[in-house]
Amino acid sequence: MKKELLNIPKNMQAIEIEEFGKADNLKLCIRPTPQISNNQILIKVSFAGVNRPDILQRQGNYKVPEDASDLPGLEVSGIVVENKGSNLKFNVGDKVCALCHGGGYAEYVAVDEGHCMPLPKGYSMAEAACIPETFITVWSNLFMRGRLQKDEKVLIHGGASGIGTTAIQLAKHFGAKVYATAGSDKKCQAVEKIGAIKCINYKAKEFENEINQLTNKKGVDVILDMVAGPYISRNLKCLSINGRLVIIAVQGGIKDEVNFANIMIKRQTITGSTLRPQPSTKKTEYVNSLVKHTWEYLEKGKIKPIIQREFLLNDASEAHKALEKGNHVGKFVMKVS
């Protein structure tokens, strides 16, 4: 189908990082509409998710892969307006959500076809935009890498974040016993409402002591951690025999001192990953696994993203400020078109 028939413009509005630093350095700009290559699709973006890696990229603390767009934005929902390749799953006009290799803060984005997912039935475009980066990060780390099983105990740090609220819902739905941490009593109450047995205010109590008390000193089987730094040794104090510590961010720093003898005695595993640098084929594997194992529960409404607030695309700087402020429960999204 010709581009003119689909009204795909030569240029589009997007948000670019004028220079590394503060949120106000995000500026509305005009860029050429992306050209797709084989086995890619072009999405007219409805909503874009706002995530912590976007902030790190804006600050200059998150290396963008050489083959990625320099525009921020790792997850979108929207409508397929062009595709290229054979045996494609999605056709022009299909509503999708997609994991982006950057470029989500724009009216159009080109993505690998294998990184796209159908909208779960009953989901709005805003809700669907919360799925790709967030759900895939949780699914690939907590369930595939961390091997969380039914009846196991799990501790999820940052329970009120987009990652945290997603992880709590998924873990609970798959039969795990969920504990969490958050930075205020109000957040803890919200986190317990969505499924945590107990949420610990880490500003008021030592989470490792609380977890050991709650588990009769047995600890939890899996910990999902985005803090790292001094949390590593503290996590290990409340991680069970054969426990798995999965690190997905290093907000607290990249170093800590640990006792390897204890790790050996308790046969513990420390692992972690970042999503963006992984090969396209691996991301497709994550997408397929997520859809296969969770979509029916999303479509039944048993698992839903929690959206704190919607912003407009040209208010991207305000969205970043809100995320940095840290008073939210759930996700921020931007309405694009």
> pLDDT tens digits, residue range 110-120?
999 999 999 99
Per-residue pLDDT, 63: 85
Confidence of residue 86 (pLDDT cuts 50, 70, 90): confident
Please compute the mean of the pLDDT values over residues 42-62 and round it to a whole number: 96
Confidence of residue 4 (pLDDT cuts 50, 70, 90): very low
Q: Residue 229's pLDDT is what?
A: 94
> Residue 47: pLDDT above 60?
yes
Q: What is the mean pLDDT of the chain?
A: 95
Q: What are phi and psi of 124, to 5 degrees?
A: -80, 165
Pick 3-131+276-335's CATH classification: 3.40.50.2300, 3.30.450.40, 3.90.180.10, 3.30.2350.10: 3.90.180.10
- Amino acid identity at 55: I
Domains 3-131+276-335 and 135-272 share a fold: no
State yes or no: pLDDT of 256 exceeds 80.
Answer: yes
Residue 6 has a pLDDT of 64
The CATH number of the domain covering residues in 135-272: 3.40.50.720
In this structure, are residues 142 and 171 in contact, taking their beta carbons and an 8 Å threshold?
Answer: yes
Query: Does the pLDDT at position 2 exceed 60?
Result: no
Which tens digits make up the pLDDT trace of 288-306?
A: 999 999 999 999 999 999 9
How much is the average pLDDT of 274-280?
92
pLDDT at 84 over 70: yes
The domains of the chain are located at: 3-131+276-335, 135-272
What is the DSSP annotation of 32-95?
EPPPP-TTEEEEEEEEEEE-HHHHHHHHT-SPPPTTS-SS---EEEEEEEEEESSS-S--TT-E
What stretch of H or E contains 323?
helix 316-325
